[in-house]
């Protein structure tokens, strides 16, 4: 069986971290940083011993959360196509399926917060949910981001942002990159 993509594993671990943080009543980064989570996603440890070898993890994290994160990694290895998303992302998907545009979502579900709306779209795309790009994203922005990404898949959001004449929100560019990746995976 092919090993799951590190970005996919990272997105699944982000969802797990978010769920744990919600229960614990803390911010997600209070559980573990994105950097450490990416290291886990890349290393794909099988045991607590392997997990302890990942740099940047606190002893408290290992003591409290090793078991649950290792269980999730095991699930990812055995069922890589299972795509769990947060409740907010599920609500976002439902509204998109009902024909709501990005502006509608932003206003109705996220109180005008563009970043939160974009992050839910990214979560859905990374979980392999089809979303009509035309409802969500301006075609000009998408075309420019796609061209920049195809030239250099390692390009950063900031570098893409610098290629635009007008100021484009970082979250919109991040969402555009997710659409590009989704479409490349499915082409």
Q: What are the structural domains, with CATH classification, of the chain?
A: 6-78 (1.10.150.80), 87-185 (1.10.10)
Q: Largest alpha-carbon pair distance within the chain?
A: 50
Task: Please report the beta strands in the chain, taking only residues with DSSP state E, as ranges in sequence order.
Answer: none
> Is-contact 31 40, C-beta < 8 A?
no
d(CA 110, CA 55): 35
The confidence score (pLDDT) of residue 69 equals: 94
pLDDT at 28: 87
pLDDT at 83: 61
Indicate the pTM of the whole model: 0.57
**Joined tokens for residue 165:** 């004449």
DSSP state of 110: T
- What average pLDDT values come out for the chain (187 residues) when binned by 10 residues? 72 84 85 92 94 92 93 83 76 90 93 92 88 90 88 82 80 90 78
Tokens of residue 33, six digits:
């940083």
At residue 64, the pLDDT reads: 92
Asked if 160 and 148 touch (Cβ cutoff 8 Å), the reply is: yes
106 close to 162: Cβ distance less than 8 angstroms = no
Q: What is the pLDDT of residue 111?
A: 92
């Amino acid at each position: 069986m092919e090993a799951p993509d590190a970005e996919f594993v990272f997105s699944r671990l982000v969802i797990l971290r978010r769920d744990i943080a919600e229960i614990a009543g803390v911010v997600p980064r209070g559980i573990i940083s994105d950097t450490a989570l990416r290291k886990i996603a890349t290393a794909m440890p099988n045991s607590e011993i392997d997990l302890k070898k990942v740099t940047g993890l606190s002893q408290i994290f290992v003591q409290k959360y090793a078991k649950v994160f290792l269980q999730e990694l095991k699930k990812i290895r055995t069922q890589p196509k299972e795509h769990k998303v947060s409740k907010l992302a599920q609500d976002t998907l439902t509204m998109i399926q009902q024909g709501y545009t990005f502006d509608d979502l932003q206003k109705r579900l996220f109180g005008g917060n563009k970043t939160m709306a974009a992050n839910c779209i990214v979560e859905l795309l990374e979980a392999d949910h089809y979303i009509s790009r035309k409802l969500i994203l301006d075609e000009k922005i998408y075309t420019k981001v796609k061209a920049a990404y195809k030239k250099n898949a390692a390009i950063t959001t900031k570098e893409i942002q610098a290629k635009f004449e007008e100021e484009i929100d970082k979250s919109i560019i991040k969402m555009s990159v997710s659409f590009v990746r989704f479409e490349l995976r499915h082409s």
